Amino acid sequence: MGLLGCTALVGLGFGIGKVGAMGLFDQKKTSSKNEEEFAFTLSDAEWKTKLSPEAYHVMREAGTERSRTSPLNNEKRKGVFHCKGCDWELFSSEAKFDSGTGWPSFYEPINDKAIGTTVDRKLIYARTEEHCANCGSHLGHIFDDGPEPTGERHCINGIALEFKPSEA
């Protein structure tokens, strides 16, 4: 399958994400997240105690919650979305938008130290996976079909987030 195949995949509605079409066929090993890389760490047993089974599956096993199941998808108040695993600030409500996908979506993280990324090759095309930069918990994926000013859509599993409304 050549570049024409990539175009066909995009034409069928498969978003390539920030990795790009040529990343589809790049089979070399990419960076992976190791527990030693993060400031906040817990043992597997501690994560299982801290998180619900559903949150554990999404955050520690890179699962995905069902679309339209998170109450945070409809959250409209001003505030900050934190990592449910370690309370790290991830996204401002000001960057949240309705993507129509059924998952909370943001056009940018709260700052450049909030998230980390790896290449996810679990599907037929490469995607950019994002994780909490503090504890390594899986959050979701980044796609290049978001609104201005960044053009990014951070498609996040709501079960991985905790919303803290602004006091004012």
Per residue in 3-38, pLDDT (tens digit) is 333 333 333 344 434 434 333 333 323 334 555 589
Q: Give the CATH number, domain containing residue 112.
A: 2.170.150.20
**Which of 33, 5, 4, 30 shows the shortest CA–CA distance to 18?**
30
Question: Phi/psi of residue 90, each to 5°?
Answer: -115, -50
Q: Examine residue 91 and state whether it is found in any structural domain, yes or no.
A: yes
Q: What is the Cα–Cα distance from 153 to 146, expressed in whole angstroms?
A: 4
Is 155 one of the annotated active-site residues of the chain? yes
Q: Taking the chain, what is the end-to-end CA distance rounded to the nearest angstrom? A: 55
Cβ-Cβ contacts under 8 Å for 134 (sequence gap 6 or more) = 38, 39, 40, 83, 86, 88
| Mean pLDDT, the chain, integer | 83
Question: Phi/psi of residue 71, each to 5°?
Answer: -60, -20
Q: Examine residue 146 and state whether it is found in any structural domain, yes or no.
A: yes
Q: Examine residue 6 and state whether it is found in any structural domain, yes or no.
A: no
Q: Examine residue 52 and state whether it is found in any structural domain, yes or no.
A: yes
pLDDT of residue 126: 82
Q: Examine residue 137 and state whether it is found in any structural domain, yes or no.
A: yes
DSSP line for 69-92 = --GGGG--SSEEEEETTT--EEEE
For residue 61, the SS3 value is helix
Q: What is the Cα–Cα distance from 53 to 55, expressed in whole angstroms?
A: 6
1-10, 104-113, 159-168 — most confident range: 104-113
Catalytic site residue from 6, 86, 135, 155: 155
Q: Examine residue 3 and state whether it is found in any structural domain, yes or no.
A: no
**Full residue range of the structural domain in which residue 73 is found:** 16-24+36-165
The tokens 């501690």 sit on which residue?
Answer: 46
Q: Examine residue 111 and state whether it is found in any structural domain, yes or no.
A: yes
pLDDT of residue 121: 84
More confident residue, 155 or 9: 155
Beta-carbon neighbour count of residue 141 at 10 Å?
Answer: 21
Question: How many structural domains are present in the chain?
Answer: 1
Q: Examine residue 69 and state whether it is found in any structural domain, yes or no.
A: yes
Hey, which residues does 140 pair with through a beta bridge?
130, 156
